Structure 1
């Protein structure tokens, strides 16, 4: 599925989308050679709004022709001055419009103005929002902020001109005319959607349309965060959080295949974190850097890139070895963190870190063999063996139980039955939900995983989400209104009323790449793609349809995409069809 088709699906636009390519630079520009200038790998697309959500005309103010803003535009002001939206204020009344662009976007806004009688600049207020209620909010109230990206500000618009503004994550935009007794003519108000123009090489389809939408929403969530670097969020957390990257990288492996944003981001966090510092100040995040490299190499098979990490990787592993005591217990310092919802369960965090460091030692042994350092590989393997003799209590933490199952510290079936599946989607989290699902898959409980994906991630879609959120709690659901309309009287505002820790109220990000776990999980466990050798040279196909009647899809590899289709027959058996490129060995 290519990039333009995804945009059409996402925005439901019939208009032709205008793409702006990158022009060549002269050999030198202002004394700076072209090779010294960073080149942006992204493309800009200009979708118009899909609907007018709300307008305000009180106190003598008026708005006429707002439907003209829903038409495709060309970004060019002109003297014809037709098909104009006219906003007029009075001494006491100021008109406002709330626009819906149909889908979460990363980027800004382009405003094309007409030519009213006065040629003076007109002052407006712009409020971006990931929800309707956030676009209607005021900074400083209920968590609404301008942190990381400006989303609430004033702007002067020219007479008969074009203004481009904004760089944030949003779906909704509110425009207020601030000047009294003035007129604003708007020919166009288009989003500036900024993203990498890359094909969706991976795919997933089955007889359950909700699961299809969940898979695609996870893919799109990560796509939005693949900016010049791989971010965690496009409104807030526009940063390289390396721990948060792991689910995103697995989604990239599943959907896009190789993309330079991954090594670019891994190298950035490495270069700004000299040892013995922890990446992002969090000990577990340095561990995730190792695990990402292990999985990136498994899918992409680029040994040359892995060898570039040799000095830092060996230094990090030697430092991590000092955090394992003689009895095999982890002694990690720095910020001891798994994810936010688990942060108050200290015994659970301790158990999770024991598992995570065990996983690092196993991965370290594997990586050091590839790096031709057999001595360090043996040290890591010996430490992993010691650590697996220490089995802490997960303390009912689904995060800890999942990691323990994946690390070999806990039987996956026991972890699933006694902790992870207890209460269904209750106490799931968007970040560690991926590892909970992975542990359920390891326990052969794919049906349970499907049920939780439908319940937990499906609930976000039911509330109007077009990307997956930084956090979600099933306890938020009762009496909650969707995010794509004004909150009715007596209903709870799921964006403004909820959230916790660093994401209270409107500060809560509704597009967070770490929440994309179901995308890669469905490909791995339902379609059954198990990569066994680096570069996908050997792939095992081991499907598990659960209650599905059929499923099909593709996995991108360095040799091309593998296609599978599974059909459940009347006797309960599954018929599988596989098409693979040359150079890939398929095991069924």
Structure 2
């Protein structure tokens, strides 16, 4: 069907910062012919669609702006023939680039088509629009990877705006932007995966109740936007030098506490009333830092050096606490009127830093910049910097730091949870009453039992102006809460009077949900809190159980983690980032093959990657993204995953499609081979979160090893698709690179591969387990060296850098599986994943607890508690313990060869990519050396069944005919 609809928006900025805009169109539906009505829709950045008040869907899926995705909904059953009907859409326009969105401009496109081919409705100037007046666009960024936290005032906006009969007389006509094909959405593509699920889950208990006190005054300033003009258009790393000044106006003199919750990001130094605050006066654990001060009556000048090195986000969080009756406000620090209470001094210098192309460092020793802090003793001294100063625009200043208010406690008095409040989380139970305490806020902490990812809803009864601050986080242990620094997972909801419900349009991932009730004149009633779990729609075909209950628990958390990280692409985590990291998804796809068998999401992920070639011909490491970043290994894993997708599906047409992109990027990678035949590149040369020697410039061994493997993959894909000439070229390049690695990166004395050769020619003295694993896995190590590498897999030298993440463990397990080390795999899973289970994990951690980032706080076991790159057991328990392995593309031939490893029984299922599944059940009598093995599988699959070597037994086969 052709497009007749026009892109529309409202008056004002083309790409406003954090704007929620509502659209409505009321129309007549014919008495007949509307049963087959379908609606196509897209928006920039995201939409929520309603038909006659019923929420129909959310979208669009992430895409490059030059390949904008649109969705299609069958809505005939929601239309009311012969009556007035209303289609409405809430559009959330970010106005900034993120790790999953490139800034375009605000826009909505929709078209209703009847089965007859008649266009029933299309976006044009007849639609009505209004800014969502209850949404505060000044809420802070959630994180550098995501858009904005949420602040909604229900007192000034009618939540029924999407319903028929709503009075929209105060709305304005939409502005027509242009036809389909206009920039930046120069091409439209239909959605290539099903709609995501919306499954309602509820809290399992009220974890705690407390009366609390936090900051009296707080704010968040987006100093990145202030100090790095144009940075809204990208998500690249920036650095800058400069200051922010304000006055803390106190109604009387007295003691106070200043709090900074992003220490080290945008607070290099500060002064109060002209006195420099020495760093040894601050207390707290990074990144929280606090300073006790004495305020004078009236204005107290606060000058903050916000200069920062290599930062994505650039968020300054400030909180001030003083005992009543001291009243506090922020005030503009110099004479004259200003539209905000903050003054920016600078930037003196700023630049964008890239990991894969030349960058310019700012001048950190510039005396003009450095002298300011010591020279400003009073507000009058700021006048001499007038030529470098400007008021900070209000749009960059948040009205409150809700995250800081939820995290920091001056007072925290725990209380027993009343039964009526505990019962409030049960659907259809009586309302739970949140008590109110004079001089305190009230916190109710809910536990959902495990982590989920999706959209929060609640129904409450409250007095007008009551503030409900919601804050989700992943982990707690006793009194310890792992606060989500760097992620503002908050919703501020200001209630209107009476009973009301609200559903957030912003995705979040958490297990625990803290509700802080503030400014309440009367108790708040909770009628329900629920969460809409949203993920790629998958049937849980895969199964695994065995005689070891610990392995069963580990398999379950691997499955739940993978499910939560399957959105419109694979994502690294549902909380901190929600970004599609290309390298992560290779391993996640293999896990997904054994758990769910979902292939459309894998194909979609693989297809998105080449769109980044306008950022770099080496391809970006997360897509589509405003951060132009290259991790070469991630590109290599993508190419490997393309071949693995072909092996999984036997989809040769897709292999041909992707081979052209593989050839393109491999040809550019070969341009980075130096005079010694080694791959030498400037990039983010990452493999593992551990202290291996992997500098961002120079020759990194693990990267060379994976490039050699990828060149062989490119050769094999060339042969498959009929490009024999390029196939031969890539095979020869792989051989040359392997020879160079063995010639230049081997340490004969240590009998190991070194980690790198630095850009200055210095050979690394670091030996890591990671490098030896990759040498074994990729086949570059041959003969005696290969035997040495394989020995390290079973007995790691103590002086080698140890594996630091479950992601790296995946490659370790792959290498072990190739040399018969399944026992070692299971032991390692029990040790490392068992540690997660012992700490109450319901999902797999991003890191192991010994990772450097976690050492500042011994209670912090990992950053993200839900990370799909860590779900290896979901793959290896099915592949090795059940023994189900593909032998031919499309799984037309399969091997079933269980490896018991001391287990007395195991059973489970593995999805077959053509439909159906392979079921395996075995019992092992170790004393008798006998196995009973039962298998069932589709009859058109050729199956080789093998008992373990030296084991006798019985095999029972069941072949299942496919429906034609």
TM-score range, shorter chain: 0.7 to 0.9
**Deviation at residue 137 of structure 1 after TM alignment:** 6.3
Question: Match for residue 584 of structure 1?
Answer: 941
Structure with the bigger percentage of helix = 1
Distance 1:286 1:110 in 2: 39
Contact 2:468 2:516 in 1 (8 A): yes
Contact 2:441 2:517 in 1 (8 A): yes
Map 1:418-429; keep pairs closer than 5 Å: 418=792, 421-422=795-796, 427-429=803-805
* 1:123 maps onto 2:467 in alignment: yes
Which of 97, 101, 113 aligns to 2:448? It is 101
Map 1:482-561; keep pairs closer than 5 Å: 494-495=859-860, 508-559=863-914, 560-561=916-917
**Deviation at residue 316 of structure 1 after TM alignment:** 1.7
**Deviation at residue 343 of structure 1 after TM alignment:** 4.8
* 1:399 maps onto 2:755 in alignment: no
Distance 1:579 1:412 in 2: 38
Distance 1:135 1:375 in 2: 64
**Deviation at residue 255 of structure 1 after TM alignment:** 1.0
* 1:444 maps onto 2:820 in alignment: yes
Provide Cα deviations, 1:262-319, integer angstroms capped at 9, x if missing partner.
2212222221334524322222211111011111111122112222223212212222
Higher relative contact order structure (alpha carbons within 8 Å, sequence separation ≥ 6): 1
Contact 2:458 2:501 in 1 (8 A): yes
Which of 54, 58, 73 aligns to 2:208? It is 54
* 1:152 maps onto 2:485 in alignment: no
Which of 696, 717, 720 aligns to 1:367? It is 717
Cα distance, 1:207–1:319 mapped onto 2, change above 3 Å: same
Q: Is there any run of 5+ residues in structure 1 with no aligned partner, and where? A: 1-18, 74-81, 481-491, 500-507
Contact 1:91 1:180 in 2 (8 A): no
Provide Cα deviations, 1:1-41, integer angstroms capped at 9, x if missing partner.
xxxxxxxxxxxxxxxxxx99866244265428999786871
Distance 2:553 2:590 in 1: 18
Contact 2:468 2:518 in 1 (8 A): yes
**Deviation at residue 49 of structure 1 after TM alignment:** 0.8
**Deviation at residue 443 of structure 1 after TM alignment:** 2.2
Larger CA deviation: 456-465 vs 440-449: 440-449
Cα distance, 1:40–1:573 mapped onto 2, change above 3 Å: closer
Which of 385, 403, 411 aligns to 2:735? It is 385
Question: Match for residue 433 of structure 1?
Answer: 809
Question: Match for residue 89 of structure 1?
Answer: 436
Contact 2:457 2:529 in 1 (8 A): yes
Larger CA deviation: 346-355 vs 165-174: 346-355
Question: Match for residue 459 of structure 1?
Answer: 835
- What secondary structure, in the 3-state scheme, does the structure 1 residue paired with 2:441 have? coil
Question: Match for residue 470 of structure 1?
Answer: 846
Which of 151, 158, 182 aligns to 2:522? It is 182
Question: Match for residue 287 of structure 1?
Answer: 636
Cα distance, 1:296–1:20 mapped onto 2, change above 3 Å: farther
Cα distance, 1:579–1:423 mapped onto 2, change above 3 Å: farther
Q: Is there any run of 5+ residues in structure 2 with no aligned partner, and where? A: 1-53, 58-72, 76-111, 114-119, 125-178, 181-187, 214-412, 622-629, 746-752, 755-765, 946-964
Distance 2:534 2:873 in 1: 25
Question: Match for residue 106 of structure 2?
Answer: none
Distance 1:88 1:325 in 2: 70
Cα distance, 1:326–1:378 mapped onto 2, change above 3 Å: farther
Q: TM-score, normalised by structure 1?
A: 0.82
Q: TM-score, normalised by structure 2?
A: 0.51
Larger CA deviation: 576-585 vs 400-409: 576-585
- What secondary structure, in the 3-state scheme, does the structure 2 residue paired with 1:173 have? strand
Contact 1:206 1:552 in 2 (8 A): yes
Contact 1:92 1:180 in 2 (8 A): no
Question: Match for residue 255 of structure 1?
Answer: 595
Aligned pair count reads 531
Distance 2:455 2:815 in 1: 40
Which of 247, 258, 278 aligns to 2:619? It is 278
Distance 1:343 1:97 in 2: 43
Question: Match for residue 16 of structure 1?
Answer: none
- What secondary structure, in the 3-state scheme, does the structure 2 residue paired with 1:214 have? helix
**Deviation at residue 213 of structure 1 after TM alignment:** 1.7
Provide Cα deviations, 1:426-473, integer angstroms capped at 9, x if missing partner.
534211110011112222121111111000011011101111111113
Distance 1:50 1:202 in 2: 26
Cα distance, 1:99–1:29 mapped onto 2, change above 3 Å: farther
**Deviation at residue 568 of structure 1 after TM alignment:** 2.1
Cα distance, 1:523–1:342 mapped onto 2, change above 3 Å: farther
**Deviation at residue 157 of structure 1 after TM alignment:** 3.1
Contact 2:772 2:792 in 1 (8 A): no
- What secondary structure, in the 3-state scheme, does the structure 2 residue paired with 1:404 have? helix
Cα distance, 1:200–1:412 mapped onto 2, change above 3 Å: farther
Cα distance, 1:269–1:157 mapped onto 2, change above 3 Å: farther
Contact 2:457 2:502 in 1 (8 A): yes
Contact 1:337 1:349 in 2 (8 A): no
Larger CA deviation: 239-248 vs 126-135: 126-135
Cα distance, 1:171–1:545 mapped onto 2, change above 3 Å: same
Distance 2:55 2:826 in 1: 40
Provide Cα deviations, 1:385-430, integer angstroms capped at 9, x if missing partner.
2233333314532221221111112366532433664279953421
Question: Match for residue 503 of structure 1?
Answer: none
Distance 1:349 1:431 in 2: 22
Cα distance, 1:430–1:134 mapped onto 2, change above 3 Å: farther
Distance 2:203 2:484 in 1: 26
Contact 1:68 1:85 in 2 (8 A): yes
Contact 1:561 1:581 in 2 (8 A): yes
Provide Cα deviations, 1:71-92, integer angstroms capped at 9, x if missing partner.
125xxxxxxxx71111232331
* 1:214 maps onto 2:554 in alignment: yes
Distance 1:58 1:311 in 2: 60
Map 1:241-390; keep pairs closer than 5 Å: 241-274=581-614, 276-280=617-621, 281-324=630-673, 328-344=677-693, 350-389=700-739, 390=741
Distance 2:880 2:872 in 1: 12
**Deviation at residue 121 of structure 1 after TM alignment:** 4.3
Question: Match for residue 99 of structure 2?
Answer: none
**Deviation at residue 583 of structure 1 after TM alignment:** 2.2
Distance 1:332 1:585 in 2: 45
Contact 1:123 1:157 in 2 (8 A): yes
Cα distance, 1:58–1:536 mapped onto 2, change above 3 Å: closer
Question: If you compute each CA radius of gyration, which structure gives the higher value, 1 or 2?
Answer: 2
- What secondary structure, in the 3-state scheme, does the structure 1 residue paired with 2:503 have? strand
